[in-house]
Amino acid sequence: MNDELKSAKVDPEEVEKVLNRLRRVEGQARGLQRMIEEGRNCEDILTQLAATRAALDRVGIYLITTKVRECLLDEEDASSEVAIERALETFLKYAQCLQASPGADGS
């Protein structure tokens, strides 16, 4: 485990859960590659793509909630402006990533 994870007081079981989820996403992405190579129909590919993206989004949401919780719990006074500002900044960074994704605006 790297120094950043150690200093963040991350539960090793939680790290393993996230890594397992990411491994599943990796497997789904490989499945997508295979489907394209095999010339599978577009509907099947798009269904798998949606499932892969949803799985990755769930990892992102888990990580962002963990980080927000960490920001709030690391402060002496979790209701302090500093703690709230750090938590919001973390959330907004993730939200901007989602907005920047192709099709995130519904188009």
pLDDT tens profile 39-64: 999 999 999 999 999 999 889 888 88
pTM: 0.65
Q: Which long-range contacts (CB under 8 A, 24 or more apart) does 27-32 make?
A: 28/52, 28/55
Closest Cα partner for 21 from 55, 54, 53, 66? 55
pLDDT of the residue at 36: 97
Q: Which domains does the chain possess?
A: 11-99 (1.20.58.1000)
Is the pLDDT higher at 24 or at 70? 24
Lowest mean pLDDT among 36-40, 56-60, 91-95: 91-95
pLDDT of the residue at 81: 77
